[in-house]
Amino acid sequence: MTTKREYAISLGLAQPTRGRMSREAHAAIAKAEAEGMKFTEPNVLYPTKAFKPPKSVTVSVPRHKPMEMAVGESYDPDRRRYERTQMFTGTDSSGKVWRVNAIQACTNCRYSLTGHECSDPTVLVGGGERIKVKPV
């Protein structure tokens, strides 16, 4: 007894180093099986245990009590240096004055200008130029 591939190779319909067999090779194998020929399958490594999906893991996030604040007080007054409506101005290399709002990101510390951490904020303006800005 031989495998299906070895039988197709003996008929010249398949090659030992190639992947898929041709339609003619499959037809010849089907004809041989219809005539009563038995084939052995090659040894294929299958996992011995049935596949079990991993158990789902639930992660609990600790809940913090909200801070008690007086009415009109900011959530984190140390973090917000400027209000969101604050405007900043700066000039580029050609002398054009740019006006940006505080939501714009500082290119030095990567925070918005409302709560950036550096002492000299710079922003990107039209054309990809970085300019230093100051609050108005």
The answer to whether 135 touches 99, Cβ cutoff 8 Å, is no
The residue among 57 and 38 whose pLDDT is bigger is 38
pLDDT tens, 23-56?
999 999 999 999 999 998 876 666 666 767 778 8
Predicted structure pTM score? 0.40
Inter-CA distances, 23 with 8, 13, 33, 83, Å: 11, 9, 15, 74
The answer to whether 25 touches 8, Cβ cutoff 8 Å, is yes
What value does the mean pLDDT of the chain take? Answer: 80
Name the percent of the chain lying above pLDDT 70: 76
User: 130: which strand partners?
Assistant: 124
First to last CA, the chain: 91
The answer to whether 108 touches 120, Cβ cutoff 8 Å, is yes
Give the per-residue pLDDT at 30: 94
When pLDDT is averaged across residues 93-113 and rounded to a whole number, the result is 86
When pLDDT is averaged across residues 101-115 and rounded to a whole number, the result is 82
| Sequence-ordered list of residues with C-beta below 8 angstroms from that of 126, at least 6 positions apart, any chain | 98
Which H/E stretch holds residue 91? strand 87-91
pLDDT band at 134 (very low <50, low <70, confident <90, very high): confident
Q: Please choose, from the candidates 112, 104, 111, 107, the residue with its C-alpha nearest in 3D space to the C-alpha of residue 129.
A: 107
Q: Which of 51-60, 84-93, 99-108 has the lowest mean pLDDT?
A: 51-60
pLDDT tens, 72-85?
555 555 555 666 67
